[in-house]
């Protein structure tokens, strides 16, 4: 079974593309979502995050995502601390999930697949891209956040130029129909 990594900058269209692969019957693992589930379910992670970020990291027993985002996306050390706590746990969780799959290939979607080195465990890496101003506008519209809030996350991510050097396949996600056609072709190639 091939492990296919799928990544891209904030607002590039990772979730949009992953839904297209899922509609073709491909098992998909969305690291952001699984990371949040672990942050809310693992007592060990909770203890470590509270030690690093303070009691406000959790509100009513739930991860306080806005507080955590505001803390880590403007503080490199805190971001590295959170990543060091979360990513190994996500890696173990993904391995257990992958062992239960029986398809030709699975897709692991992660915003920072390159940044945290987990692309090295993938047989193929797909990069989803879109011009930065398009990505910023999409996220502002989707999340109702400010341009500077989106830029605060972008600055913690590699530029597309650096990711292109390591990607096997690049999906320029501008026109949705073109993206769908390319996903269909990639699925045939990987199956
Ligand atoms: C800080 C958190 C709680 C904010 O959650 P929230 O729902 O507000 O935002 P969301 O998770 O959708 O993030 C939006 C985008 O921010 C970017 N982003 C998220 N985590 C990171 C990170 N560690 N480094 C750089 N960019 C990141 C991605 O482009 C992501 O798609 C959450 O992003 C988080 O827990 N991040 C740290 C753990 C992590 O790295 N998760 C992602 C991959 S496993
Ligand atoms: N080709 C496209 N044309 C127009 N809108 C798009 C296109 N692709 C994605 N979008 C929209 O842009 C927004 C961001 O897309 P999506 O959520 O898939 O990006 P993402 O890479 O998963 O973002 P994040 O890193 O924040 O999780 C969404 O509202 C989505 O509906």
Looking at residue 149, which CATH number applies to its domain?
3.40.50.300
Residues 174 and 93 in one domain: no
Burial of 9 (0-12, 13-18, 19+ CB in 10 A): buried
Which residues on neighbouring strands pair with residue 5, listed in sequence order?
108, 125
Provide the domain limits for residue 138: 1-27+104-191
Residues 189 and 122 in one domain: yes
Residues 115 and 67 in one domain: no
Rounded to the nearest angstrom, the distance between the alpha carbon of 111 and the centre of ligand 2 is: 12
53, 85, 111, 156: residue to mutate for ligand 1 pocket, most atoms within 8 A of CB = 111
Residues 155 and 128 in one domain: yes
The number of folded domains in the chain is 2
Domain boundary among 76, 100, 124: 100
What band does 156 get if pLDDT is binned at 50, 70 and 90? Answer: confident
**Are 129 and 173 in contact, with CB atoms under 8 Å apart?**
yes
Q: Could you read off the pLDDT of 157-188 as tens digits, one per residue?
A: 999 999 999 999 999 999 999 999 999 999 99
Domain boundary among 100, 126, 142: 100
Q: Could you read off the pLDDT of 129-145 as tens digits, one per residue?
A: 999 999 999 999 999 99
Which ipTM score applies to this complex?
Answer: 0.89
7, 9, 10, 15: residue to mutate for ligand 2 pocket, most atoms within 8 A of CB = 15
Phi, psi (deg, nearest 5) at residue 105:
-150, 155
Residues 109 and 187 in one domain: yes
Residues 180 and 157 in one domain: yes
Rounded to the nearest angstrom, the distance between the alpha carbon of 129 and the centre of ligand 2 is: 10
Which ligand 2 atom lies nearest to the CA of residue 143? 29
Residues 3 and 67 in one domain: no
For residue 106, the tally of other CB atoms under 10 A from its CB is: 20
Residues 79 and 112 in one domain: no
Residues 60 and 94 in one domain: yes
Residues 82 and 131 in one domain: no
Average of per-residue pLDDT values in the chain: 96
Angle between the N-to-C axes of helices 65-72 and 43-53, in degrees from 0 to 180, rounded to the nearest 10? 50
81 is in an annotated binding site: no
Q: What is the pTM of this model?
A: 0.91
Residues 189 and 152 in one domain: yes
| 150 HSE (CA, 13 A, CB side) | 20
Alpha helical stretches, state H, 11-155: 14-23, 31-41, 43-53, 65-72, 76-98, 132-143, 147-154
Angle between the N-to-C axes of helices 31-41 and 43-53, in degrees from 0 to 180, rounded to the nearest 10? 90
Could you say which ligand is closest to the alpha carbon of residue 112?
1
Residue 24 is given by DSSP the state: T
């Amino acid at each position: 079974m091939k492990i296919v990594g799928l990544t891209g900058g904030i607002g590039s269209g990772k979730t949009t593309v992953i839904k297209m692969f899922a509609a073709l019957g491909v098992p998909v693992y969305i690291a952001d979502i699984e990371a949040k589930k672990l942050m809310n379910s693992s007592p060990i992670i909770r203890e470590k995050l509270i030690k690093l970020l303070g009691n406000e990291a959790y509100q009513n027993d739930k991860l306080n995502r806005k507080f955590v985002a505001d803390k880590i996306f403007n503080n490199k050390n805190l971001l590295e601390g959170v990543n060091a706590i979360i990513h190994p746990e996500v890696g173990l969780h993904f391995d257990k999930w992958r062992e239960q799959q029986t398809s030709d290939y699975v897709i692991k979607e992660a915003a920072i697949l390159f940044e945290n080195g987990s692309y090295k465990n993938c047989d193929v890496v797909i990069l989803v891209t879109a011009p930065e101003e398009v990505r910023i506008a999409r996220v502002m519209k989707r999340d109702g956040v400010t341009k500077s809030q989106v830029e605060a996350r972008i600055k913690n991510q590699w530029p597309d130029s650096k990711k292109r050097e390591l990607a096997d396949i690049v999906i320029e996600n501008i026109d949705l129909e073109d993206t769908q056609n390319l996903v269909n072709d990639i699925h045939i190639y990987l199956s």
